[in-house]
Amino acid sequence: MLGAIQGAALPTRSVPRLFSRASLFSTVSSTQALPSLTQEALFLDDEGFAKDNDNSQPQKQQPGGKPFTFPKKGQQLEMFCESLAFKGKGVCKIVDSGFVVLCDRALPGERLIAQITRKKGSYAEAMKIKTISPHDDAVIAPCEHANDCGGCKMQNLSYSAQLRIKEKQVFEVISRLGRFGSASGTIMKGIVGCQSPFGYRNKMEFSFGVKKWIPKSELEELSQMELCQDEFALGLHAPGRFDKILSINKCLLQQDAANKVLALVQHFCELHADELPPYNTFTNTGFLKHLVIRSGREPETGALQLMVNFVTSCYDPTLLQPLVEQVARVPEVVSVVNNTNSRVGNTSLGEEEFVLYGKSTITECINGLVFEISANSFFQTNPRQAEVLYSLVEDAATLKGDGSEIVLDLFCGTGTIGLSLAGRVKHVYGYEVVPEAIADAQRNALRNGITNATFVQGDLNKIRDNFADQFPKPDIVIVA
């Protein structure tokens, strides 16, 4: 999830030495129940869209037995936002009827006018039109694209309020889905905020396309003919619209040097759209699919490093060469790679990878260790907050200090958490399904001179009876 918030909520020793990244960070990627506002249960799927609980039934009457009138699509209604659901959707009630509506960028305590965009049996979804009375913690979003972009959801809410809401959501998930009951208040420590809620993200993925999303502020200035024409776009997807791209040349989540690359690529490709056609998801034609910018730090000097990855539908280095030459002039760029993906669709994971300039990897330093990052490897998107997280994990593990313990790191990715503990335990065993991540983990252990770490490739969704035989009995288990 893109957003200007990173935090960590940590379980205490009442859950003995079993640590979950999902509960350590206040970001939940699986389906989460919305706060209970009516007798029906509402849920959001992994893409943030609402869906019915199979057992829910449409509400036929208002409280008190009055006839109920369902809202109609396109209708503008006054409503009151009671809470925030997963991914920042406001859970609102229509004034006078109490009918539940999910509305993007509505804040708890806010009274607003919203237009119904989608109607279901037990709820509706809406687009915010205007605020009648604001939330106490409402702020002016610092990003010019905040109202139109599908990335950040809560920039119009103060960061301190974001932290409170995130902490509450994680607590509700643990207490309800974990069924800890009255013990819920003792198994989770408070959220830990990020010192820099902007400019922290070390990986941003931008999409090329031919369907440009036009912000509301620009609609009146365009003719109907202009609105119907295909147009080059590079940026982020509009909310809920994976066929539409909002063109941007600056994102506040990444660093200034990365934004310089983004603006350069956008300008160059727009001028040369005939030679470098963007991918069309409707006709499955075109060349440029994604621009992925990753950042790291040089171990000795701490200097910023950038890796620029062009994801294309085929391999044609001659076609990309003029663009690569332009990008390579940015001082921070140390690597330009080309991932090719010939499959139908717009996924950013490549089938093959080619180095077009510089190195095949960049590095990042966390708690004294140096990690290599390849184009497709998983790595914590906020390295400074990752340092905080790993330190909290170590504190919560309450290591004996005699180097006698065995750590089992499940869903280990590139091995960062396990390797950060390796110097204080007997052995670390990492388990991960992605072979490239395992290769990165092994390389990271070698680079840091760590010999007491073993990484195994395997799928925990297809676990076998002999799984426990692959490792000694662990003293500490880390799960994703």
Q: Is 82 annotated as a binding residue?
A: no
Three-class SS of the chain:
CCCCCCCECCCCCCCCCEEEHHHHECCCCCCEECCCCCCCCEEECCCCCEEECCCCCCCCECCCCCECCCCCCCCEEEEEEEEECHHHEEEEEECCCCCEEEEECCCCCCEEEEEEEEECCCCEEEEEEEEEECCCCECCCCCCCCCCCCCCCCCCECHHHHHHHHHHHHHHHHHHHCCCHHHHHHCCCCCECCCCCCCCCCEEEEEEECCECCCHHHHCCCCHHHHHCCCCEEEEEECCEEEEEEECCCCCCCCHHHHHHHHHHHHHHHHCCCCCCECECCCCECCEEEEEEEEEECCCCCCEEEEEEEEECCCCHHHHHHHHHHHHCCCCEEEEEEEECCCCCCCCCCCEEEEEEECCCEEEEECCEEEEECCCCCCCCCHHHHHHHHHHHHHHHCCCCCCCCEEEEECCCCCHHHHHHHHHCCEEEEEECCHHHHHHHHHHHHHCCCCCEEEEECCHHHCCCCHHHHCCCCCEEEEC
Q: Is 432 annotated as a binding residue?
A: yes
Q: Is 32 annotated as a binding residue?
A: no
**Number of neighbours of residue 445 by Cβ within 10 angstroms:** 22
Confirm if 126 and 101 have CB atoms less than 8 A apart.
yes
Structure tokens at 4: 């200007």
Residue ranges for the binding site? 380, 411, 432
Residue ranges for the binding site for S-adenosyl-L-methionine? 380, 411, 432
